[in-house]
Structure 1
Amino acid sequence: MAALSDTFKIVYKILPRAEWEGAVEAGTYAGSADDLRDGFVHLSAATQLAGTAAKYFHGKSDLVLVAFQAEDLGPALKWEPSRGGELFPHLFSDLPADKAVAVYELPLGDDGVPLIAGGLL
């Protein structure tokens, strides 16, 4: 992977707590229904989280935000154009639960969008 700015050194996955707990127990996360359909695990950089939360997780509760060092995911992590041509991290393998560097709870805001607190990132 080419050298990336600090913005892209950490990648994130938003998912239901129960799915993450299952991944920890199994050791890996194969992905959501959307991930499985698309053939890769959708991830986001810090600057993309608010948009991802609003678009895909509005009204969904009991979510977690899981952080990973991009370099720990190896060559299966590719940065590809997605929403509006912006480069997004896509993982072409299962997500290894033991590579998580942090897990945060994501409460819903009054508008139904998961809160991505700036202090977390």
Structure 2
Amino acid sequence: MSANAPRYVYKLVPSTAPIPETLPDQLPVSDLDQRSGFVHLSSATQIPNTLKFFFKNEPLVYVLRIVYDKVEKDIRWESPDATVCGPRGGEGMFPHLYNGLKLGKDEIESVATWKNVDGWDDALQNAGSWLIY
């Protein structure tokens, strides 16, 4: 892991795709990830804007925490539409997981459930030390 690499990356999952208590080998793939051919992830610092932009009207989300070292070999840091490739860049560059769309018990370290109460600020504040870059 390089000095500025994150410790964790995160996958946000809407309430319409509940995460089972016992994680399977592979979770179902979202339509967006299926169309893109990779799993869309965010760093801890990107989570607030990802929530506010893509999950604004969701009543709750499941936040999957993934140890970066476990997936680093399959991560590409790219713009949201995957047109700009390269090493870890500014916050406009997102971690995209290119591992055959596999995200399950081997990749996910823990899962949190966050509720949207008049916006995501309360959930983010309550995330405390769980949301780590």
TM-score (norm 1): 0.79
SS of corresponding position for 2:118: coil
Instruction: Tell which deviates more after alignment, 36-45 or 101-110.
Output: 101-110
Equivalences, count: 118
CA-atom RMSD in angstroms = 2.8
Match of 2:30 among 29, 32, 35: 32
Match of 2:75 among 74, 77, 89: 77
Percent of pairs with identical residues: 27
SS of corresponding position for 1:103: strand
SS of corresponding position for 2:57: coil
In 2, Cα distance between equivalents of 1:4 and 1:88: 17
> Quick check: 1:89 aligned with 2:89?
no
Q: Check the 8 A contact 1:59/1:113 in 2, yes or no.
A: no
Task: Identify the structure with the greater helix proportion.
Answer: 1
Gaps of 5+ in 1: none
1:33-53 per-residue CA deviation (whole Å, 9 max, x = no partner) reads: 111111110000000000101
Equivalences for residues 4-83 of structure 1 within 5 A: 4-5=3-4, 8-16=6-14, 18-21=17-20, 24-25=23-24, 27-82=25-80
Q: Check the 8 A contact 2:48/2:120 in 1, yes or no.
A: no
1:69-118 per-residue CA deviation (whole Å, 9 max, x = no partner) reads: 11101422111133897111000121132322221111102137783235
Instruction: Tell which deviates more after alignment, 107-116 or 41-50.
Output: 107-116
In 2, Cα distance between equivalents of 1:42 and 1:10: 14
Instruction: Tell which deviates more after alignment, 46-55 or 66-75.
Output: 66-75
TM-fit CA distance, 1:61: 2.1
